[in-house]
Structure formats: structure tokens, C-alpha cells
Structure 1
């Protein structure tokens, strides 16, 4: 085939280091917008970027030119550097956890995942991030050792 074609949606999830609650309502909109911009620059068109206090969800269309780990690495490193420069109260304390989860999303589920990301505050009124993340791992049948998930 002379042409390479792709449409792969991914749902990326990661938290702040030690799940510290650094993503306040004052910071969240600019942070999520910045992260969407990083995705755009990588040609990984963002569908939804959101989160709650200590973690982020990104739903994007993965570029066929970008590896999963490169997408996450660039989003995390660029947004961390930007947040530390933009919000002086975060300068010496803000970091992302080392790991992440990335899950495939079928086209038929894009609207549901988008709604899920956009309603994180409601979702976390009765569930902590750790339980949410473990639930995603189980839902996607990902084997894990809980000793190595958290940092």
C-alpha cells in the first residue's frame, strides 16, 4: 500500500508525583490548555484534556509519526517545565509521576471517554485517583504489580 493511514485514539492517564494535589481550579484550565497544545504540536490531535487535583486524562488521536512513550514524555516534560515557570508556587515542588497508563479507545467510545474526562470533579466526589486508575487497568485487562505503580 503506497499510503500510510491511521486512526488510533488513546486515553492517557498519569498523576502528580506522590499524587500531590497541585492542580487547583486556578491552574487547571491553563495547564490542560497547554497540554492540548503540546499534543497538537506533535500532531496528536487532542479530543479532551482534563483531570482533577492530582492527575490528568488526555484523549487524543495518536499521530502515526509519534510513539506512545514519546507523546507522554513530551507532554509531561513540557507541561512540568511550563507549570514551574508560570506558577511560582509550583517552582520547587511540581513533578509528574514517573509512570503512566495509556489505553486504546474505539471510535464508538470517544464520546463516552470525552464525557468521562470532562466530568472528573463529579467523578472524584466519591472515588480517589488510585481506585480510578486500578479500575482502568482492570477494565483493560492490564497485568500489574501494585508495588510498582505508585511513586
Structure 2
């Protein structure tokens, strides 16, 4: 079989349950690591990560065999389980159902990556 070419970039967004402000600075680093681990497991790449106290934004490049809703479901299930049961058992951490997913053009990646990294600043305005 010949080689294949793909550019599958997505901006993904989802919230904590009822948009409760559950994500603190300490939890943010653990959350990023958990999300990145799951993305790498699917031969995909986390290009940018940003969050506020009640939601996350990701910019990802997905492997063509990966289903967007499938990987988001796995990330949410895995990260909420680990955060709520292992790392922060008293946090009551959980994600809200649903998510947003937007396809992204390669030319828009630098601007969007910066926007995602600056989520805290963006939401303070």
C-alpha cells in the first residue's frame, strides 16, 4: 500500500460539570499531562493546551484512524477518573457531557495556538 497524506487539525473545547470552577493551577498541569498521554496513545499530537477554571481548549492533530468523538470521550473519561479518584479525591471533579469540535486550516494554526495558550488572559478581559 502506498503512503498517505493527512492534515487533520481540530480545536476541541469542553467544560467542567455545570461549569463549576474546579480547575486550579496545580490541577491544570496534571490535566494537561493526562490529556497528552491519551492523545499520544492514539498516535496523535497535542499542539496547544489552555484552560480556565471551568473549561479546556485543545488544538490537536489527529491520526486519520482516530474518531473525534471517540478520542474526546476517552480523554474525558480517563482524565476525570484519574483526577477525581487518584490525584484529587476530594475535588468532586467531573466533566459536563458534550464538547465542541472545529476543523482548523493549517494556515490558522499559529494564531489559534496562541489564542488557546492565552485562555486565562482572554477570559479576564
Would you say same fold, with TM above 0.5? yes
Q: Deviations over 1:112-140 (max 9, x none)?
A: 111011111100103xxxxxxxxxxxxxx
Q: Which has the higher contact order (CA 8 A, sep 6+)?
A: 2
Secondary structure in 1 aligned to 2:94?
A: coil
d(CA) in 2 for partners of 1:2 and 1:28? 41
How many matched pairs? 124
Other-structure match for 1:130: none
Q: CA RMSD in A?
A: 1.3
> 2:102 is matched with which residue?
103
C-alpha distance in structure 2 between counterparts of 1:66 and 1:114, whole Å: 21
State the shift of 1:109 in Å.
0.8
Q: For 2:56 and 2:21, locate their aligned partners in 1 and report how far apart those are by CA, in whole Å.
A: 11
The Cα shift of 1:58 comes to 0.9
2:47 counterpart residue number: 47
Assess if the C-alpha contact under 8 Å between 1:33 and 1:49 holds in 2.
Answer: no
Tell me, what secondary structure is at the counterpart of 1:89? coil
C-alpha separation in 2, matches of 1:88 and 1:17 = 16
Cα distance in 1 for residues equivalent to 2:90 and 2:49? 23
- For residues 10 and 67 of structure 2, the distance between their equivalents in structure 1, rounded to whole angstroms, comes to 11
Q: Which runs of 5+ in 1 are unaligned?
A: 127-151
Normalised by the length of structure 1, the TM-score is 0.78
Kindly indicate whether residue 69 of structure 2 is the aligned counterpart of residue 69 of structure 1. Answer: yes
